[in-house]
Structure 1
Amino acid sequence: MNIIAIMGPHHAFYKDEPIRELDGALAAQGFQTIYPKDAGDLLKLIEHNPRICGVIFDWDEHGFDLCSEINQLNEYLPLYAFINTHSTMDVSVNQMRMAIWFFEYGLGAAEDIGQRIRQYTNEYIDTITPPLTKALFTYVKEGKYTFCTPGHMAGTAFQKSPVGSLFYDFFGGNALKADVSISVTELGSLLDHTGPHLEAEEYVARTFGAEQSYMVTNGTSTSNKIVGMYAAPSGSTVLIDRNCHKSLTHLLMMSDIVPIWLKPTRNALGILGGIPKREFTRESIAQKVEQTERASWPVHAVITNSTYDGLLYSTRYIKETLDVPSIHFDSAWVPYTNFHPIYNGLSGMSGDRTPGKIIYETQSTHKLLAAFSQASLIHIKGEYDEQTFNEAYMMHTTTSPNYPIVASIETAAAMLRGNPGKRLINRSVERALHFRREVQRLREESEGWFFDIWQPEGVDEPQCWPIQPGEEDWHGFNDADADHMYLDPIKVTILTPGMSEQGVMADEGIPAALVAKYLDERGVVVEKTGPYNLLFLFSIGIDKTKAMSVLRGLTEFKRAYDLNLRVRNMLPDLYAQAPEFYRNMRIQTLAQGIHNLIRDHDLPRLMLQAFDKLPEMKLTPHQMFQQQVKGNVETVDLSKLVGRVSANMILPYPPGVPVVMPGEMITEESRAVLDFLLMLCTIGRHYPGFETDIHGATLTDEGQYLVRVLKA
């Protein structure tokens, strides 16, 4: 952070010469200077170069207007205005709150001004650096000798071995020096929430609109368990979104609690819908309690917000309607909702406290923000017992936390503060909208078929689009509630030919798995692949280069598909898995073969029925896991699952949402769940390389899927 932008005065020697002297003084201070052509050029440089740490300009030529425009980009950036004895200083009190310093033109003053600019730059860096990260940077710079963990001793141990030296050189010295022990007292404690760690949690809470926040280094899988362990005592009943993350199923296996499922919808494409409003009513919950063995009135509820496919709830209705003491919004995929007005009212922390209730929100700070993997946050609004909650926190948190992960959580929060943070999220939204418009344009201009996009008509303005009743043409949810769910624009779902949103199968189709494999071989990894849809996430790290690579990949796929190239030429990695099978096969033959299998299994019916009638709970997940620990299980073929109690959760990837829970039994009424799983298995058996990853099932070398069940 040593770049100073200088907007030099024009055609005035008595101003040019002092600036030339200052340029030399700044170089002596370690600064690099750049000279934008005009104000527009300067603003573009600031917008796209966050390492610029100050701007020098002529007050008479630019004045307060330029300061205001810079302030909209970064209100913390130091501004240095040069004036002369005749300059007009018409600056209001509010304007003086900006980071502006004034200097007079004069020869021989450059060294002093350069020192002051260095001082103000250091203050700027200090202002934007959050507390724990600042303390960690300081500790690393001090270079203390420690005689505690970790054993690599700031990377020294790695440099005593050839392979260790490779590791050290790859990751760099500071990354290893920042991996310090919890014994370092000046950094405080993540477990006791003291010192810079406490300051960091308070900083994060203010940033995300929470009353209290906790930083978690084991991912949101752990955050979900922490909240659940505190909120749901043994023997209690909990409402849980059926489209939950598997970490919540693990919570149910660990704790002796009774789950009652809130049943969401899906459309024929397999896109995860939300829980209908009727499921949240007291009447609906009372009926579920009556029908569930050992159930009592729920003490806690868990809602996935947003869904994997980017559907967000209007959370106020849920907070006010659900008659439970606490509500947990699992918002792993949307840690950015507090930083753009289009998400107002669509997050757990939105709005004020809910009287008589505690609201929790867990977020994967690493998923769509700039934090390291495993970085997660827990946010809380409402009265709770901090000491008991911290016991649950320590129960799942390591006593040797990775401090770079913690610092990355805090830094991700710092990046979102103020105008720079708003601009970051706004640019993600704008890039996603631009990408959507480009796909539409290519579809209109293409001869024959092209990819479609799951969205309503007219996506020009930044907004979250409502999933409204009576508009099934685009979203495909037949029983949508008004003003209940909204599509996040940065979650972009591309549709391939073969099936409409209403579930009408075409005679010809291109299963999305083919496109995903094609893109993967060209360096583009898709977040989620459905039967005829691909999900792309436009996080803050996505730039135009990455977006254009997707567009190029889609157009190249169309060109290759229309030419009907051989599989070995179009998908060489797939060909390498089974060269004999794919030796003479062409891409259209492969696509049509998989499409026919999907059509023969009547996928639209399976999608709508498989998640409508749930399997029957014979044991709670906790009871079933205890049976498994005791060895009271056996293995059967997946096709034999009807009438047997599943020992494990069974979930196909993607999307990684359990379809059978531990202790549940598929009956003839819920057989569509099994038929859906068998369809996925059939595709892999017929076409090598298209095997489905089904957690909870073991795929043998012979192509058989085995599952564990309770002994008969």
Structure 2
Amino acid sequence: MTKKKVVNAPYYNIGQLRMDLWNKLRSASVSLSEATEGSASAKTQVKDCEVLLSNLSQIEHNFAFPGMRKYMSLQEAFNRHEYVAMAHNVADIRRALISDSFRSGEELRMDNEKGDEIETIDQPEGTKQNYFEVLLVENISESDERAMRQKLSSLRSSSEQFRYSLVVQRSFQDALITLLFNTNIQSVVIRYAPPFSWKEIDPLIRPYIQHALDLGPVQSKDEDLGPLLGQVIKQFRPEIDTYYVTDTVLADLKDSTINTFRRIFYRKEDFQEIHLSIIRGIAERYETPFFTALMEYSQKPTGVFHAMPISRGGSIFKSRWIRDFGDFYGRNLFLAETSATTGGLDSLLQPTGPLKKAQEMCRDAYGSMHTFLVTNGTSTANKIVMQAIVAPGDVVLIDRDCHKSHHYGLVLSGAFPVYLDSYPIEKYSMYGAVPRHEIIEKLHLLRKSGRLDKVKMLLLTNCTFDGMVYNVERMMEEVLAIKPDMVFLWDEAWFAFAGFTYTFKKRTAMFVAKKLEKRYQTAAYREEYDAHIKSLAEGEQPCLPDPDKVRIRAYATQSTHKTLSSFRQGSMIHIWDQDFRRKSQATFMEAYMTHTSTSPNYQMLASLDAGRRQVQFEGYELVERGIELAMSLRAKINDDPALNKYFDVLTVKDFIPSKYRQTDIAEYYTRDKGWNRMETAWAEDEFVLDPTKITLHIGRTGVDGDTFKNKFLMDKFNIQINKTSRNTVLFMTNIGTSRGSITYLINALLRISEMLDSGLHALDARELEIHNKKVWSLTNDVPPLPDFSYFHTSFQAVPGIPGGNLREAYFLTYDEENYTYIPLEDCLAEMAKNKELVASSFVIPYPPGFPVLVPGQVATEEIIKFMLALDVTEIHGYRADLGLRVFKQSVLDRQMTATSIGAIGRPGISNKKIKAGTNKNNK
């Protein structure tokens, strides 16, 4: 396959370019204002300012602030040689951009026919209006634009909670560029039929916008461009309200056009109605039904005669001994505590009021068919979905190194797991993701053995803790070609943020499910499928799903609290299931009630409600900023000699083998080439790396990951992280990460580097030899990662065929007579005697944090050697004082007899297959 060329750029995104230009213009304008007129220095600064102003003109027309009129005033001051005034104005603009003060109205100027004037709307003292910007798309003259701005300004009221400024663009392309650059845009008004392009795109900005321009139509009539732009906006930034002004008679408006826009207006009604509609649209998204209800409830005078003495702070603020507890959290927390489900509140188990509406608003924000709030974490969300979808005896394909909640969900449901191996990244003691060919091979094997009809679910983690992200669309399509009714459970615990930036969104479950359902229902797809079937050789299997059989059934569990705003354990289940109402709704609600508390935490639910409001208004901005900060951190460590002496930021090529990278992008940033544009890779590669997961290789420090985390990061700098391996530590950026926190981390790493330097200089020859051995061990002498071995024959669902009876093995251990312990160091000796050791418990080392053994699995020599080589102290399910817990041989013999008797006479099961099961194919 030909690798695709990746475009490089000197900056990661347009935000970095924009601020760098303003910073350089400030420096150049100050120097120019201080230079002697006519001097060589002045001439140099004049040229610099000319170039910088020209470059900024390609960017600033996409923003209301500073706006083109304010920009033009700078250009005019420059042309008049008023360099001191220009320098002061540049400094004011730069300061307002950095501080975001223009959003509060402190710096914002309105563009009208008189020039730059301070907005004259009077605000009541103490009130604060939420600021946003509206994009108006129309090929309009400058005089008409000024008249329109003045008209819209006259319609505003000081009593309105929301306040906006206008950004005008005159073409389809310029509108897309503005939406990509300007995160303040919350509404778009498309008037009539804008042309596709209005002017040539400057090479300065082209690298940052190409993926947005690719959304545009290749060929289209001019009169169709308005509705097409509305459809593209819904793909690119679906949270935005879109409005359309047209002269097309109602009878000629297409249904697709009517469905695309929030409202459609005609010329005579557009100004006032558009203004009111814009404000109303923002107000509706601003609603937080449950959070608002809870706030109102907390202010009601009530008499508490139900459970919970803590309610209203009754048992707290009267106490002589725990009053400090109440002072720490504040009164509102306790005023909002209640066990009531009426009186303006609602029941999570059967919502009919504000909770129901909050879930519906979450559904719309996250792009699902149904969304359910979960108050005890994604661990519970995973068990809910598992219990709702799979029944005892169903087969589930599951990545072995997934979160432990999935393994326990299999125990509860009684499903038979077919474990899938991710590719190993042995140098860093971690796993990648499950290649498609691994899954396809398992499905073909199950079909050949007559077990495909029992396969119910494919369960994968997207993205993984370390940042590996699947090509969800390609994975689902190839699996559905074999098993058209497959249910997909995508564990997106660490990927909830991805739905709010276009590049990442395309690899999320809900986006892909919606896209595929729509695609498979079109006539164009049916033609594509028919042509594909005709092209197949005899016996060749289709690679496309049959449109008459395929059903889209996708579930995503998300830890909202991990990457978005929510109190701890706040999670969501998102569903896009064509058969939900017919096949799964009843069982889902039973599972939901099984695992959901009848006393859910109302503060957590309120935080999920408020967090939804946040991502609808500023999710795009905050997610993009979090990614930008992660990229900046990568570049700083890569470029700084004091940091790269000890630390390496692992990048794409370190995590993803070349055969899974169709675009051949190997890293996001290099010192000599700058930034690689990652959009093509995210569209096409089998696996990509989430850049917000920054894995730092620390092997050259001679300090293992656990020690580095506790002794350096935590004890010395109070820096908290989630994950380490033998020789890595993982940092993550999110929507709460600030530039200051990135600077603090860099400062800490610099100081650690200095400490390591000082420590090395103090070592004598023998100490240095010991240190070098530690470095060698952490960088070269890494233990090989074992694959999943196989279930013992007695715990295979069908002997010789993938699928293990995990539940039966698990519950056999409830009788302590069924198992024994073998010291780990004795296990290899026992194996040398041809004794099979079969695990009777989950064995989960932290790190890496996934089971190396599950109940019923045969412990191989590779697994024991891996455990012996581990230098971690926390291994769940294993007691160092007792050893590895395994089934007694008598129990295995008894199980073998029962399994053999049950298999005799079963179609397709021979005695040869009964005796099989000791090879890796029987996972």
- TM-score normalised per structure 1: 0.74
Matched residue, 1:453: 649
Matched residue, 1:622: 807
Contact 1:239 1:262 (C-alpha < 8 Å) held by counterparts: yes
Structure-2 change in CA distance of 1:325 and 1:54 (3 Å): farther
C-alpha distance in structure 1 between counterparts of 2:766 and 2:354, whole Å: 61
CA deviations 1:566-589 (Å, max 9, x no partner) are: 99xx9xxxxxxxxxxxxx999856
Contact 1:528 1:534 (C-alpha < 8 Å) held by counterparts: yes
SS of the equivalent of 2:430 reads: coil
Matched residue, 2:400: 242
Tell me, yes or no, if structure 1 residue 349 matches structure 2 residue 510: yes
Contact 2:462 2:469 (C-alpha < 8 Å) held by counterparts: yes
| Aligned-residue offset at 1:132 | 1.1
C-alpha distance in structure 1 between counterparts of 2:341 and 2:368, whole Å: 29
Contact 1:566 1:585 (C-alpha < 8 Å) held by counterparts: no
C-alpha distance in structure 2 between counterparts of 1:556 and 1:332, whole Å: 33
| Aligned-residue offset at 1:380 | 0.5
Matched residue, 1:437: 635
Structure-2 change in CA distance of 1:474 and 1:289 (3 Å): farther
1:495 aligned to which of 697, 701, 712:
697
Structure-2 change in CA distance of 1:183 and 1:118 (3 Å): closer
C-alpha distance in structure 1 between counterparts of 2:793 and 2:639, whole Å: 49
Contact 1:466 1:487 (C-alpha < 8 Å) held by counterparts: no
2:352 aligned to which of 182, 189, 194:
194
Tell me, yes or no, if structure 1 residue 399 matches structure 2 residue 598: yes
Matched residue, 2:863: 673
| Aligned-residue offset at 1:139 | 1.2
1:409 aligned to which of 600, 608, 614:
608
Structure-2 change in CA distance of 1:356 and 1:291 (3 Å): closer
Tell me, yes or no, if structure 1 residue 276 matches structure 2 residue 444: no
Matched residue, 2:782: 603
Q: What is the root-mean-square deviation of aligned Cα atoms in Å?
A: 4.1
C-alpha distance in structure 1 between counterparts of 2:766 and 2:708, whole Å: 14
C-alpha distance in structure 2 between counterparts of 1:54 and 1:474, whole Å: 42
Contact 1:510 1:591 (C-alpha < 8 Å) held by counterparts: no
C-alpha distance in structure 2 between counterparts of 1:388 and 1:125, whole Å: 36
| Aligned-residue offset at 1:628 | 1.7
Aligned AA (1:437): A
Contact 1:621 1:662 (C-alpha < 8 Å) held by counterparts: yes
Gaps of 5+ in 2: 1-64, 67-89, 121-127, 134-142, 165-278, 518-549, 669-682, 796-804, 890-923
| Aligned-residue offset at 1:560 | 1.8
CA deviations 1:5-32 (Å, max 9, x no partner) are: x99xxxxxxxxxxxxxxxxxxxxxxxxx
Q: Which structure features the higher share of helix residues? A: 2
C-alpha distance in structure 2 between counterparts of 1:382 and 1:398, whole Å: 25
2:854 aligned to which of 661, 676, 679:
661
C-alpha distance in structure 2 between counterparts of 1:298 and 1:118, whole Å: 53
1:421 aligned to which of 609, 619, 630:
619
Matched residue, 2:196: none
Contact 2:443 2:452 (C-alpha < 8 Å) held by counterparts: no
Structure-2 change in CA distance of 1:612 and 1:157 (3 Å): closer
Matched residue, 2:336: 178
Structure-2 change in CA distance of 1:361 and 1:196 (3 Å): same
Matched residue, 1:366: 561
| Aligned-residue offset at 1:512 | 3.3
C-alpha distance in structure 2 between counterparts of 1:289 and 1:413, whole Å: 43
Aligned AA (2:782): L
Contact 1:242 1:262 (C-alpha < 8 Å) held by counterparts: yes
Aligned AA (1:622): R
Larger mean Cα displacement after TM superposition, 246-255 or 394-403? 246-255
Structure-2 change in CA distance of 1:559 and 1:457 (3 Å): same
| Aligned-residue offset at 1:199 | 0.5
Matched residue, 2:589: 390
| Aligned-residue offset at 1:453 | 1.0
Structure-2 change in CA distance of 1:207 and 1:599 (3 Å): closer
User: What pairs with 1:67-78 in structure 2 (closer than 5 Å)?
Assistant: 77=131
| Aligned-residue offset at 1:102 | 5.5
Structure-2 change in CA distance of 1:219 and 1:640 (3 Å): farther
Identity in percent: 25
Structure-2 change in CA distance of 1:555 and 1:587 (3 Å): farther
C-alpha distance in structure 1 between counterparts of 2:771 and 2:118, whole Å: 59
User: What pairs with 1:104-123 in structure 2 (closer than 5 Å)?
Assistant: 116=159
1:520 aligned to which of 714, 722, 738:
714
Structure-2 change in CA distance of 1:509 and 1:66 (3 Å): farther
C-alpha distance in structure 2 between counterparts of 1:466 and 1:132, whole Å: 48
Matched residue, 1:695: 876
Matched residue, 2:227: none
| Aligned-residue offset at 1:58 | 5.5
Structure-2 change in CA distance of 1:447 and 1:136 (3 Å): closer
Aligned AA (1:621): L
Structure-2 change in CA distance of 1:222 and 1:237 (3 Å): same
| Aligned-residue offset at 1:211 | 1.0
CA deviations 1:189-208 (Å, max 9, x no partner) are: 21013211111111111111
Contact 2:699 2:728 (C-alpha < 8 Å) held by counterparts: no
SS of the equivalent of 2:294 reads: helix
1:145 aligned to which of 279, 303, 307:
303
C-alpha distance in structure 2 between counterparts of 1:647 and 1:483, whole Å: 39
| Aligned-residue offset at 1:598 | 5.9
CA deviations 1:417-474 (Å, max 9, x no partner) are: 13x22111011001001101100111xx34993311111599xxxxxx9951696987
C-alpha distance in structure 2 between counterparts of 1:447 and 1:327, whole Å: 42
SS of the equivalent of 2:296 reads: helix
Matched residue, 2:475: 318
Contact 2:648 2:698 (C-alpha < 8 Å) held by counterparts: yes
| Aligned-residue offset at 1:596 | 5.7
Tell me, yes or no, if structure 1 residue 217 matches structure 2 residue 367: no
| Aligned-residue offset at 1:333 | 0.6
- TM-score normalised per structure 2: 0.58
1:710 aligned to which of 877, 887, 890:
887
Gaps of 5+ in 1: 1-5, 8-35, 68-73, 80-87, 104-112, 459-464, 476-480, 499-507, 571-583, 684-690
2:100 aligned to which of 32, 46, 60:
46
Contact 2:642 2:750 (C-alpha < 8 Å) held by counterparts: no
Structure-2 change in CA distance of 1:404 and 1:205 (3 Å): same
C-alpha distance in structure 2 between counterparts of 1:447 and 1:248, whole Å: 39
1:158 aligned to which of 299, 308, 316:
316
Aligned AA (1:707): L
Tell me, yes or no, if structure 1 residue 302 matches structure 2 residue 459: yes
2:844 aligned to which of 651, 654, 669:
651
Contact 2:843 2:852 (C-alpha < 8 Å) held by counterparts: yes
SS of the equivalent of 1:157 reads: coil
